[in-house]
Structure 1
């Protein structure tokens, strides 16, 4: 499993904002981009989404900027990653169901479907709440009648192993908050200045 640069930069941005000497002081995207030597334009999109999700407050205007909207102890890493990572499909028989920004705090979509994880392994259903992922039914087809998944999907034991591993990965992330990863604040602040 590899997280995208998008998730990496989102986490780095939150770390930057969390270790500022005065947390309520506004920062700007240019400072964050310069501190990490990353693209300002790419970071702008990330900061915008973090604002939409309620992790960052932005103040417009000449003296505007950004700051954390929540205390670091209230920012769960697993929840954040599930909200911003676009794809958890480790293999082709995985299908992701990622909630849009509008329904990130709601477990259902406009069509009433639930974001709970389900997978079909010998028709015994197992659910892992919150993981935005499902295993594709071996009989699933696309709109143009193309079969999804590989030929052994109906009897494959490997997809369950991958699903269990991914679930463990997410569960570990959900055990930590932003506060847990900035307990060396002084060292981080020094390196980011």
Structure 2
């Protein structure tokens, strides 16, 4: 199983933002610098996370981004599901392109579906708070000052 970079970067934005001291805003520019990700790409991710209610954006000169809710309320599985646009593992998962003749009686698609559900269930068991338990180390690595 593989997650798209969009999802990876979304989780990094949440980790970075969740590592900031209470009330301190993060900026797309600083996140871009820390993770070496294009500001343009991060802008799209921040927009999506804002629409999802995960982060809050504050406009203006002193603006930035911050978590919209507590880190224990942000479920990693929910973020992954909303950031991934599909979970087509093989042709048989996509009705539009499926040309496999054995699809109607194939058991493999059921095995793969079970594997996908198990994969996603692991994410469901974690919140952003779980990803921030080593916050001192994360802050040091991301150059965040208290």
Which bracket does the TM-score occupy, shorter chain normalised? over 0.9
Query: Partner residue of 2:13?
Result: 13
If asked which structure has higher relative contact order (CA below 8 Å, sep 6+), I would say: 2
Gaps of 5+ in 1: 96-135, 137-141
Query: Partner residue of 1:28?
Result: 27
Task: Work out the CA distance in 2 between the residues paired with 1:36 and 1:61.
Answer: 24
Given that 1:29 and 1:40 are in contact with CA atoms closer than 8 Å, whether structure 2 keeps it comes out as: yes
TM-score, structure 1 normalization: 0.72
Q: Show the 5 A alignment for 1:37-116.
A: 37-95=36-94
Q: Which structure: greater strand fraction? A: 1
Runs of 4+ in 1 over 3 A off after TM superposition: none
Q: CA deviation at 1:62?
A: 1.1
Q: Which structure: greater helix fraction? A: 2
Gaps of 5+ in 2: none
Asked if 1:154 corresponds to 2:104, the answer is: yes
TM-score, structure 2 normalization: 0.94
Given that 1:76 and 1:174 are in contact with CA atoms closer than 8 Å, whether structure 2 keeps it comes out as: yes
Q: CA deviation at 1:148?
A: 3.0
Query: Out of 159, 166, 169, which is 2:116 matched to?
Result: 166
Task: Work out the CA distance in 2 between the residues paired with 1:161 and 1:59.
Answer: 45
Q: CA deviation at 1:83?
A: 0.9
- Which has the larger Rg? 1
